[in-house]
């Protein structure tokens, strides 16, 4: 089966959106990982939750840390539930493949969302997100433990959903080419293939400046 278009993935998530609403979805999912990511930041200004869904748990965490938070999702049903939970948050109903980021962000989260994009869209979207980081900003997102690019469609959730990944070597090369650094890579659900990365936009400091800042160079 060929990869789904983002609009087709949206239709699938419209059908199952209620699974992420209420108390049935694990509230701790991804939270410790985001706390780790936030610890790398020097400033906590604007944050964006991509594929924000309906649970609101990541938005709640970002709000507790003082961020001005926005959410974006392609599923209309997910967004309806998200808006009911957080009426004062700005939400965007958009396809991240086509949507121009309205600003730079200190933190961008793509938790269990970016991997639903077709393989052909993985690199351009990743480049867009890393370009959308403020200097020193953080991108945290999930992918899969694969060594080469791959994509598939499955119905493990009862509806067809696409998955696309670049593979670890290509991902790390892409991060470097975008002026970013991989600060953390972890198999957080081992032996499952679930993998998450914390990526930081390089600041304007030189290597020596960073060393002095950390007390490594006199």
With beta carbons less than 8 A apart as the criterion, state whether 127 and 121 touch.
no
Q: With a cut of 80, say whether residue 56 has pLDDT above it.
A: yes
Q: What's the confidence (pLDDT) of residue 21?
A: 76
Q: With a cut of 80, say whether residue 212 has pLDDT above it.
A: no
Q: What is the mean pLDDT of residues 159-188?
A: 97
C-alpha distances (whole Å) from 178 to each of 29, 113, 151 are 28, 20, 23
User: What pTM was estimated for this model as a whole?
Assistant: 0.91
CB atoms within 10 A of CB 111: 22
Tokens of 195: 């993998």
Buried b / exposed e over 149-169, threshold 16 CB at 10 Å, is bebebeeeeeeebbbbbbbbe
With beta carbons less than 8 A apart as the criterion, state whether 94 and 75 touch.
no
With beta carbons less than 8 A apart as the criterion, state whether 97 and 67 touch.
no
Residue-wise pLDDT tens digits, 20-30: 876 677 889 99
Measure the CA–CA gap between 164 and 201, rounded to whole angstroms: 23
Q: What's the confidence (pLDDT) of residue 102?
A: 96
Q: With a cut of 70, say whether residue 216 has pLDDT above it.
A: no
Residue-wise pLDDT tens digits, 31-48: 999 999 999 999 999 999
Q: How confident is the model at residue 1 (pLDDT cuts 50, 70, 90)?
A: low
Measure the CA–CA gap between 165 and 115, rounded to whole angstroms: 6
Which spans in the chain are helix H? 6-16, 31-38, 57-64, 76-85, 119-131, 168-177, 207-213
Q: Tokens 């944050």 label which residue?
A: 47
Higher-scoring residue by pLDDT: 114, 207: 114
Question: What percent of the chain is modeled with pLDDT above 90?
Answer: 85
CB atoms within 10 A of CB 147: 9
Question: What percent of the chain is modeled with pLDDT above 70?
Answer: 92
């Amino acid at each position: 089966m060929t990869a789904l278009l983002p609009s087709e993935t949206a239709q699938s998530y419209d059908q199952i959106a209620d699974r992420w609403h209420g108390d049935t979805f694990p509230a701790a999912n991804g939270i410790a990982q985001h706390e780790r990511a936030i610890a790398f930041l020097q400033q906590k200004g604007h944050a964006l939750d991509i594929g924000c869904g309906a649970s609101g748990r990541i938005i709640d965490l970002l709000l507790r840390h003082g961020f001005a938070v926005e959410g974006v999702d392609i599923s209309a049903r997910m967004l309806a539930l998200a808006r009911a939970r957080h009426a004062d948050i700005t939400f965007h109903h958009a396809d991240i493949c086509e949507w121009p980021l309205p600003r730079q962000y200190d933190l961008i989260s793509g938790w269990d969302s970016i991997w639903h994009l077709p393989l052909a869209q993985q690199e351009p979207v990743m480049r867009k997100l890393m370009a959308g980081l403020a200097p020193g900003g953080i991108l945290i997102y999930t992918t899969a433990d694969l060594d080469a690019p791959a994509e598939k469609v499955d119905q493990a959730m009862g509806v067809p959903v696409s998955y696309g990944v670049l593979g670890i070597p290509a991902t790390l090369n892409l991060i470097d080419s975008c002026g970013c650094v991989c600060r953390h890579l972890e198999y957080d659900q081992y032996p499952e293939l679930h993998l998450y990365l914390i990526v930081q936009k390089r600041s304007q400091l030189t290597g020596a400046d960073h060393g002095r800042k950390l007390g490594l160079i006199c």
